[in-house]
Amino acid sequence: MIGTLDAKIPSGPLDRKWQSHRDHSRLVSPNNRRKVEIIVVGSGLAGGSAAATLGELGYRVKCFCFQDSPRRAHSIAAQGGINAAKNYQNDGDSVYRLFYDTIKGGDFRSREANVYRLAEVSNLIIDQCVEQGVPFAREYGGLLANRSFGGAQVSRTFYARGQTGQQLLLGCYQALCRQIAAGTVQMFPQTEMLDIVVVDGHAKGIITRNLLTGKIDKYAADAVVLATGGYGNAFYLSTNARGCNVTATYRAYKKGALFANPCFTQIHPTCIPQSGDYQSKLTLMSESLRNDGRVWVPKRKEDCRKPPDQIPEQDRDYYLERKYPSFGNLAPRDISSRAAKEVCDEGRGVGPGGRGVYLDFADAIKRLGEDTIRERYGNLFEIYHKITGENAYKVPMRIYPAVHYTMGGLWVDYNLMSNVPGLHVIGEANFSDHGANRLGASALMQGLADGYFILPYTLPNYLAGQMGKRPSTDHAEFKKAETDVRAKIDSILRVNGNRSLDSIHRELGTLLWNKCGMARNAEGLREALSKIPELRDEFWRTVRVPGKGQDFNQSLERAGRVADFLEFAELMCIDALERDESCGGHFREEHQTPDGEALRDDDNFATVFAWEFQGNGQVAAPKLHREPLHFETVHLTQRSYK
């Protein structure tokens, strides 16, 4: 059904592709725009900015989110900042450098043309957000301030205290509110998308459940945009919000959209370690802490239970400084995370369960004084204190890696359209820009690039040929999709077993974390692939979901999402097994350099893996499609941060 994957990358030199593509894309005239209905699912940075911008252009937009307000989408929790190639610091930054850093940081597993475009529009995002009144940090002369972030050698990160995601999202939410008031966008909060409707091969609508009443509704549109975020919660414990889920993208996958690189997940090195089984989520400590904190563990296992102040300097192993002398504590996320896992696997981890390493500010406090450290990181030290009850000015913080972001997502072409015509996917929900590892402060950039400055140009290219083709919700495909959604809800409620949803989800998460987490190997992945179907079976035999479908029922909402994670987890492991190389966050233990770094196999795997759902509603081995990555501008090198 699907031929070769065509990413539709425009021809011409890299730095002219986007301009020439825009010059030749089709347009929809203003009087026709008001006849066009667009569905946007998700209201975070990508969905919110897309809905607001398309509304402003005069399209009729319906925007859906499961939260009680679009302002609560999980983009709000991003702390560090947003990158742009403004070169305000005169330190040699450029569009090309931001492009190159992103390609290299992604370990050469993303598309050159997409990433170059992202770097190009990064500057427009800053202009747009400033104009909206986003209170970015300023210098005394009134100019915008920057900081260096995530191991970059230039200062290109714009920030609003430790709440950059919140401020960017509020800017975008306010733009959305303006369109809601103007009547161009109709907002549907507390409404969850449960299926995509495909009519004559085109995505033409969705089926939703109103979370307050349980009512199932059908909505038809000329195009559907998914901006539903990542799937980090497959691991149960992650830094994602509790509600983040794979349901929208997974159900689109079951309707024919290809899922690309699902095994590419980002494990963030600096999170507060898990303290017990009851724990419901993990909290990130901004990466910026590594600018002044030193990471260490005891050299000897025997010392791990001693209080840190009783371990003398010569008995400490500052392992990042030792292994990566030039980047030291600022080594990229995937590398720092793996190094922490390694020392804990050796039995040298600290804190409960031995899964933690110290992030020590004693030297920085000695050098700069406690006041300076408080000024730089005060709010983070407070969060740490609230959660752990410990004072990090006196004792070193304990940190451990945690699932944070997913680079994989639905496959899209250069127009951000999936292989299902009409179905567009933006933000974390697509796979396009970060390759096998995302750099710090690039997620916010991508979400807003897609929503404000890319989709509004590429969507009309599709819409122009679709005028008047919007089906009615009475179409048989809508009825069938609605029936399927109802049947799925009923079957979950019918199980009426004796096991709690969380206990099953937790078991899945532990399995994925151990077998498809920071390090993977063929044997472990095969083991996971045999266990996941058993667990899925267990879910469908024993899960207990109380209440009714036609009601506000939080257990039912979550059960539907966990059911999808239980299928999707298998796809992650299949992908991880098939990608028989190491790259970025995907570390296959069989493929490493003599000193333990990821060893890519560019001859065989410089390619996107895009999986097609097979089977008739049931899970079956998916079919693999490949999109080879062509590097015309950059040379593939081994990433070195030593």
- Does residue 27 bind other proteins (CB under 8 A)? no
Helix (H) or strand (E) run with residue 116 in it: helix 112-132
Q: Which of 83, 128, 148, 418 binds other proteins (CB under 8 A)?
A: 128
Q: Which of 30, 140, 307, 468 binds other proteins (CB under 8 A)?
A: 140
In the complex, the smallest distance separating the C-beta of residue 608 from other proteins, rounded to whole angstroms, is 29
Per-residue contact flags (x/-) with other proteins for residues 545 to 584, judged by CB under 8 A: -xx----x-xx-----------------------------
- Does residue 506 bind other proteins (CB under 8 A)? no
- Does residue 109 bind other proteins (CB under 8 A)? no
Residue ranges in 232-251 that form contacts with other proteins under rule CB under 8 A: 241-243
Q: Residues with Cβ < 8 Å from 345, sequence gap 6 or more?
A: none
- Looking at beta carbons only, is 291 or 500 nearer to other proteins? 500
- Does residue 174 bind other proteins (CB under 8 A)? yes
Among candidate residues 60, 72, 333, 639, the one labeled active-site is 333
Residue ranges in 315-374 that form contacts with other proteins under rule CB under 8 A: none
In the complex, the smallest distance separating the C-beta of residue 159 from other proteins, rounded to whole angstroms, is 11
Q: Residues with Cβ < 8 Å from 145, sequence gap 6 or more?
A: 136, 137, 138, 139, 158, 159
Q: Which of 188, 245, 189 is nearest to 68 (CA)?
A: 189
Residue ranges in 532-551 that form contacts with other proteins under rule CB under 8 A: 544, 546-547
Q: What is the DSSP letter of 144?
A: B
- Does residue 49 bind other proteins (CB under 8 A)? yes
- Does residue 637 bind other proteins (CB under 8 A)? no
Residue ranges in 373-432 that form contacts with other proteins under rule CB under 8 A: 383, 386-389
**How many chain residues touch other proteins (CB under 8 A)?**
78
Interface segment toward other proteins; rule CB under 8 A; list 67-75, 316-324, 473-481, 520-528? 67-75
**Cα–Cα distance, 360 to 560 (Å, whole number):** 42
Query: CA dihedral defined by 161, 162, 164, 165, rounded to 10 degrees?
Result: -160
In the complex, the smallest distance separating the C-beta of residue 63 from other proteins, rounded to whole angstroms, is 12
- Does residue 173 bind other proteins (CB under 8 A)? yes
- Does residue 94 bind other proteins (CB under 8 A)? no
- Looking at beta carbons only, is 44 or 435 nearer to other proteins? 44
**Cα–Cα distance, 250 to 568 (Å, whole number):** 7
- Looking at beta carbons only, is 281 or 355 nearer to other proteins? 281
- Does residue 200 bind other proteins (CB under 8 A)? no
Residue ranges in 481-500 that form contacts with other proteins under rule CB under 8 A: 498, 500
- Looking at beta carbons only, is 158 or 565 nearer to other proteins? 158
* DSSP output for 433-462: SSTTSPPTT-HHHHHHIIIIIIHHHHHHHH
- Does residue 92 bind other proteins (CB under 8 A)? no
- Does residue 68 bind other proteins (CB under 8 A)? yes
Q: What is the DSSP letter of 272?
A: P
Residue ranges in 259-318 that form contacts with other proteins under rule CB under 8 A: 275-276, 278-281, 283-284
**Cα–Cα distance, 172 to 42 (Å, whole number):** 13
Q: Which strands make up the sheet holding 423-425, listed edge to edge?
A: 185-188, 60-64, 37-41, 223-226, 423-425
- Does residue 198 bind other proteins (CB under 8 A)? no
Is residue 137 classed exposed, middle or buried when 0-12, 13-18 and 19+ CB atoms within 10 A define those classes?
middle
Is residue 308 classed exposed, middle or buried when 0-12, 13-18 and 19+ CB atoms within 10 A define those classes?
middle
- Does residue 126 bind other proteins (CB under 8 A)? yes
Per-residue contact flags (x/-) with other proteins for residues 428 to 467, judged by CB under 8 A: ------------------------xx--x-----------
Token reading at 216: 């199932």
In the complex, the smallest distance separating the C-beta of residue 87 from other proteins, rounded to whole angstroms, is 11
**Cα–Cα distance, 319 to 440 (Å, whole number):** 22
In the complex, the smallest distance separating the C-beta of residue 445 from other proteins, rounded to whole angstroms, is 14
**Cα–Cα distance, 372 to 637 (Å, whole number):** 39
Token reading at 559: 């059960």
Residue ranges in 146-165 that form contacts with other proteins under rule CB under 8 A: 160-161, 163
Please report the sign of the dihedral spanned by the C-alpha atoms of residue 598, residue 603, residue 607, residue 610. Answer: negative
Is residue 527 classed exposed, middle or buried when 0-12, 13-18 and 19+ CB atoms within 10 A define those classes?
middle
**Cα–Cα distance, 399 to 401 (Å, whole number):** 7
626 is catalytic: no
**Cα–Cα distance, 353 to 19 (Å, whole number):** 54
In the complex, the smallest distance separating the C-beta of residue 534 from other proteins, rounded to whole angstroms, is 21
- Does residue 33 bind other proteins (CB under 8 A)? no
Catalytic residues: 333
